[in-house]
């Protein structure tokens, strides 16, 4: 099978631990695929500019914090059909480089498949339930408060066999491999979401394209899951704001169902 091996990736950073970021960069750059990585830096200073020295990496300093979705969207104009796949990648993720080719091969096998995501483990090799059902308002509130876990777990496909592939409603945005043409047709993430809920939103819009998403556990990544919004009042407010924007966009009838 002929496989288009040109792939791009983008990582949006904000005051990152550089050693952690290096692991994410190395995971992508050590792949045998033909690749280009964009680092979009939303930090207050461009201190990483001279630390990132690689011909396959383009460092872009935003000069302000433009958010997660808008950061990734800022390089969409640089993507072309020559680069058939584009990876949305978190700075706190690491993986074996060969998984990229496996994911690309799987994407090649289905014309209707728009986005694929791997099995995600935390640093203790425990499964993170990143494949989710579309949430209602109560689930999001209860999940944030850490209560009624039996109720919130129903949105995590916990009764599903996570060693087998399936098509979830959405996957969390730490690692999302798109067909570039589909990502461009979607115009990337909705810029109204500064952070949080943009992954849910873009998966709903994949549905509108009549395309599919796939959770593919034959490959896996490690994610240092930080749950920052539970530690910061500012991020908590941003999280709540995104939830409100999400239901205002998609309808409050979905908030309770």
- pLDDT range class, residue 118, cuts 50, 70, 90: very high
Torsion of CA 180, 184, 185, 187, to 10 degrees: 140
Encode pLDDT of 186-239 as tens digits.
Answer: 999 999 999 899 999 999 999 999 999 999 999 999 998 665 544 578 888 888
Please give the pLDDT value at position 226. 63
Encode pLDDT of 26-77 as tens digits.
Answer: 999 999 999 999 999 999 999 999 999 899 999 999 999 999 999 999 999 9
Provide mean pLDDT across the span 132-142: 85
Which CATH superfamily does the domain covering 6-256 fall into? Spore Coat Polysaccharide Biosynthesis Protein SpsA; Chain A (3.90.550.10)
CB-based contacts of 198, cutoff 8 Å, min separation 6: 68, 69, 173, 189, 190, 242
Between CA 169 and CA 160 the distance in angstroms is 13
Please give the pLDDT value at position 232. 72
Between CA 93 and CA 21 the distance in angstroms is 8
Residue 88 backbone phi and psi in degrees, to 5: -90, 115
Q: Is 120 helix (H, G, I), strand (E, B) or coil?
A: strand
Between CA 76 and CA 180 the distance in angstroms is 9
Mark residue 67 as left, alpha or beta (left: phi above 0; alpha: psi -120 to 50; beta: remaining): left
Q: DSSP labels for 214-226?
A: EEEEEEEEEE---
């Amino acid at each position: 099978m002929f496989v288009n091996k040109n792939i791009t990736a983008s990582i949006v950073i904000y005051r990152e631990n550089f050693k952690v970021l290096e692991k994410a960069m190395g995971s992508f750059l050590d792949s045998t695929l033909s690749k280009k990585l964009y680092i979009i830096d939303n930090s207050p200073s461009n201190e990483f500019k001279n630390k990132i020295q690689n011909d396959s990496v383009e460092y872009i300093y935003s000069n302000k914090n433009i958010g997660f979705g808008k950061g990734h969207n800022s390089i969409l104009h640089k993507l072309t059909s020559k680069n058939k796949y584009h990876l949305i990648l978190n700075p706190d993720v690491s993986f074996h480089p060969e998984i990229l080719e496996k994911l690309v091969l799987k994407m090649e096998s289905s014309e209707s498949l728009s986005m694929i995501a791997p099995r995600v483990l935390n640093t203790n090799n425990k499964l993170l339930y990143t494949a989710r059902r579309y949430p209602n308002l109560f689930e999001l509130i209860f999940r944030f408060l850490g209560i009624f876990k039996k109720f919130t777990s129903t949105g995590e496909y916990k009764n599903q066999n996570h060693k087998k592939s399936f098509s979830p409603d959405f996957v969390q945005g730490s690692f999302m491999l798109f067909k570039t043409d589909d990502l461009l047709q979607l115009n990337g993430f909705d810029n109204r979401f500064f952070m949080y809920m943009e992954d849910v939103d873009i998966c709903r819009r994949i549905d509108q394209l009549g395309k599919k998403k796939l959770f593919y556990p034959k490959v896996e990544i490690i994610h240092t899951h930080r749950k920052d919004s539970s530690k910061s009042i500012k991020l908590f407010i941003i999280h709540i704001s995104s939830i409100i924007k999400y239901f205002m966009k998609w309808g409050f009838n979905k908030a309770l169902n």
